[in-house]
Amino acid sequence: MRLVVVTCSIDYKGRLQAHLPSANRLIMVKTDGCVAIHADTRGAYKPLMWMNAPNRIVENEESWVITNPKGEHLYITIEEILSDTSFDLGDDPGLQKDGVEAHLQLLLADNPDVIEEGLSLTRREFPTNIGPVDMLCRDSNGTAVAIEIKRRGGIDGVEQLTRYLDYLNRDPKLRPVRGIFVAQEITPQAKTLAKDREISFVEVDYEELQGMESNVLRLF
């Protein structure tokens, strides 16, 4: 993990164009190549701008140019570097789901048709180098489907699923992989972002799922 505090201005060019005027900001570069730009104002815990891995970063004394295979560009004009520090955070055990969210995942794994007709489970907690995918399935056409499950679905969940899809679609044995975002309740902002990312979304009723009989034979 690299943390760089700089005085800079930033321009983004991709699906749209955006500009951040000169100010002090934190540039976070993760080991996987993900880049996020943070500010210390506005009460924002989310980055002002970001680009998911994989990225190519070209640095010199006055600027950074960050590009990705989608043709997106971040141009960071450096005025002053205030701090530049790197840390090895090691492996992270990942998010421990609360009882309801974990149970929701189990119920949906037993009844994937609730998400989409014809869906069949390949594996729960499908392992990747950037974290486990809640469910990896195949649809009725045999296409791989990555599913992210939340109690309340917000933008962060869509971003998480986007990272998984970017990663999985680099595997020739899996691609193409499409995504479905599943939650008891999905915010309007998350639905808008999911549509923009061409990710499907489904709201499910936890109480109703609890009353369903599993289609999976168990020995206990």
- CA 218-133-208 angle, to 5 degrees, is 50
The pLDDT score that the predictor gives to residue 90 is 81
The pLDDT score that the predictor gives to residue 217 is 39
Provide mean pLDDT across the span 142-155.
Answer: 93
The pLDDT score that the predictor gives to residue 105 is 86
Max avg pLDDT among 35-44, 45-54, 154-163, 199-208: 154-163
Q: Would you say 130 and 163 are in contact if contact means Cβ atoms under 8 Å apart?
A: yes
Average pLDDT of the chain is: 88
Alpha-carbon gap, residue 141 to 153, rounded angstroms:
27
Which percentage of the chain shows pLDDT scores above 90?
Answer: 63
Q: Per-residue pLDDT for 22 more than 50?
A: yes
The pLDDT score that the predictor gives to residue 189 is 94
Q: Per-residue pLDDT for 150 more than 50?
A: yes
Q: Per-residue pLDDT for 122 more than 90?
A: yes
The residue with tokens 């609360």 is 98
Could you report the per-residue pLDDT of 96-110, keeping only the tens digit for each? 555 567 888 888 998
Provide mean pLDDT across the span 79-84.
Answer: 95
The pLDDT score that the predictor gives to residue 139 is 94
Q: Coil, strand or helix: which one is 214? A: coil
Q: Per-residue pLDDT for 31 more than 80?
A: yes
Query: Is 150 exposed, middle or buried, given 0-12, 13-18 or 19+ CB atoms closer than 10 A?
Result: buried
Domains and CATH numbers, the chain: 2-86 (2.70.180.20), 99-210 (3.40.1350.10)
Provide mean pLDDT across the span 59-78.
Answer: 93
Q: Per-residue pLDDT for 68 more than 80?
A: yes
Q: Per-residue pLDDT for 119 more than 90?
A: yes
The pLDDT score that the predictor gives to residue 219 is 35
Q: Whose CA is closest to 31, among 11, 47, 54, 5? A: 54
Determine how β-strand 200-203 pairs with β-strand 177-186: parallel
Q: Coil, strand or helix: which one is 46? A: coil
Q: Per-residue pLDDT for 214 more than 90?
A: no
The pLDDT score that the predictor gives to residue 202 is 94
- CA 23-50-102 angle, to 5 degrees, is 130
The pLDDT score that the predictor gives to residue 93 is 67
